[in-house]
Amino acid sequence: MTHTPADTPHGISPPTSTPVASDGTEASPAALARVLGPVGAVLLTLSCITPASSLFILVPELFAGQGTGAPLTIAVGIVISVAVGACYAELGTLTPSSGGEYAMVDALLGRFLGWVTFAMTIAMLVVIPPVIALGTADYLADLVRVDPQVAGCGVMLVAIATAVLDVKSNALVTGAFLVLEVVAAVVVAVLGLAHAQRSPSVLVHPEVSQATAGQSTFTMGLLVSGLAAAMFVVNGFGTASYLAEEIHHPRRNVARTVFWSLFIGATVIIVPAVAAVLGTGSTQELSTGTFSDLVRGWAGDTTATIIDLCVALAILNAVLVMVLQNARVVYASGRDRAWPEPVNRALTRLHPRFGSPWVATLVISLPGAALACSADLSTLYEATGAILAVVYVLLALAALAARRAPMRDRPAWRMPLWPLAPVVVLASVGYVLYQQAGRDLAITGAVVVAAALYYVLYLRRHPHDRWQVAAPDDSD
């Protein structure tokens, strides 16, 4: 059975629909197996948040600009992230598809915006993993000097090879790495609290280093200026939606995965951040140092080196989970017939032994490995902030549309106090977009224009057999 999509908001096509190939034969892509329970899903999602790398890489940047006010800024960012998480949880249980954001937007806001969301997601998925991988060399420096591009490319290739394995094996691998991440964060928290030199009142009445922030008073404007980075600290909980086709009982467990991952990740990040504030004698020291410097002062070189190695493993772990989730999105695009038929067939091919979308894994990840080996990605990476903000705006609009007929009658987890969460997201993320550099907005606009051209020139001309976003059967 097939259906005819329209360019207006619509329900997702039923799981019983069978795509028809261009040669007139029926082609049913192999389905991903439901093998993940809540624990495995949380381990994978939490590994994508990668709390250790967020703590050791992103939080020091907040210390530089926010001083002892960084934990307060992170806390506000987490509150906004909870609102974003509520949108992911409701939409991800309403439309449990590996397509993630694009499937949600397609179902609630229409076919065209669903395709634009896919294009923006792909732009981020290609750029972010190699950028993160390039940071590995910094944390291996105490043991071995490696060119950042060589280390980044190596991390990408290891992640790709591991991602081809079955998803349960990957959950075990990422879970083991995640334990090391959490141990490193706990060590930092214990050391910082054991060497506390400040009163906890400094968290409520923050101090700022004028040398790094340009002012000595922590103001509301300074807090707001750090919200974009603070929200990115716990970003990654949306991975739960990409795993929806491999999670048992997704209409129940996707929401659980989102919130448990967000809660655990936020705790692992904010507690050591508070400990670092209390464990430093001056705001200048906090604003100009790294966690390695702080740990070295508290416990010596050996402990600092061990912590750095844990961060390197956290980076590998994060890249691995990103490769996993990215492959699911590309697989879903082939299943939803976004491309010419030979491409669709290739992208939906599963590994005969592991059941993983191995062609989709290679297609989305090998370009990232090439970028890690040869390119300066700083400009593209900065633009991903604007792209992510636009995606969040579309998700919030979709969450506002989720309570109208016929979607309000579909089984799903429903956020409390609706529409508070999507309104909070629109207000906060709208401000973040307002603060973005013109160059980043221009790159985002170019992605949207390219997506619109492909839609008009190809997808819209094939309304009956292209870009039919499917809702896989959510039964076990």
| Phi, then psi, of 145 in degrees rounded to 5 | -90, 120
pLDDT for res 24 = 46
Confidence class for position 101, pLDDT limits 50, 70, 90: very high
C-beta separation of 233 from 63 below 8 A: no
Average pLDDT over residues 448-458: 97
Interacting residues of 30 by C-beta distance below 8 A, sequence separation 6+: 348, 349, 350
pLDDT for res 80 = 93
**Total-model pTM:** 0.86
pLDDT digits (tens, 9 = 90+) for 223-274: 888 888 888 888 889 889 888 888 999 988 999 999 999 999 999 999 999 9
pLDDT for res 215 = 67
Average pLDDT over residues 103-107: 94
pLDDT digits (tens, 9 = 90+) for 118-177: 999 999 989 889 988 988 888 888 888 889 899 999 999 999 999 988 888 888 888 888
Confidence class for position 384, pLDDT limits 50, 70, 90: confident
pLDDT for res 26 = 45
Q: Could you tell me what percent of the chain has a pLDDT over 70? A: 91
pLDDT for res 13 = 38
Domains of the chain in start order, with CATH, are 40-459 (1.20.1740.10)
Average pLDDT over residues 100-128: 93
> In this structure, which amino acid lies at residue 262?
L
Q: Could you tell me what percent of the chain has a pLDDT over 90? A: 48
Q: Is residue 286 over pLDDT 70?
A: yes
Lowest-confidence region among 44-48, 399-403, 413-417: 44-48
pLDDT digits (tens, 9 = 90+) for 22-69: 444 445 677 788 888 999 899 889 988 889 888 988 899 899 888 999
Mean pLDDT of the chain: 87
CB burial of residue 28 (10 Å; 0-12, 13-18, 19+): exposed
Lowest-confidence region among 215-219, 221-225, 236-240, 423-427: 215-219
Q: Is residue 206 over pLDDT 50?
A: yes
Q: Is residue 216 over pLDDT 80?
A: no
Q: Is residue 19 over pLDDT 80?
A: no
pLDDT digits (tens, 9 = 90+) for 320-364: 988 988 999 999 999 999 999 999 999 999 998 888 899 999 999
